[in-house]
Amino acid sequence: MENQYFTSPVIAAALADRLAEVDGPEVVVVSTGKSPSWFDSMTMDTARAEVLFRLEQADTYNRFFSFAPLTAHGERIIVHAKVTIVDDRLLRIGSTNLNNRSMGLDTECDIAAEPVDAAGRAVIAAHRHRTIGHWLGGTADEFAAVEAVLDSTGAAICSFESQRLKPLGAEAPTRIQRLFAEWQFGDPTSTSDAWRPWKRLARSRRTRPASEGGQSAG
Q: Does domain 9-200 have CATH number 3.30.870?
A: yes
Quick: pLDDT tens for 129-182. Answer: 999 999 999 999 999 999 999 999 999 999 998 889 999 876 666 676 666 666
Quick: pLDDT tens for 65-74. Answer: 999 999 999 9
Other beta carbons within 10 Å of 28: 21
* pLDDT value at residue 37: 78
Residue closest to 128 by CA, chosen among 150, 145, 143? 143
* pLDDT value at residue 147: 97
The model carries a pTM of 0.80
Name the residue ranges covered by the structural domains of the chain.
9-200
Helix (H) or strand (E) holding 139: none
Indicate the pLDDT class of residue 198, thresholds 50, 70 and 90: low
Least confident range of 37-41, 110-114, 193-197, 200-204: 200-204
Mean pLDDT of 44-54: 83
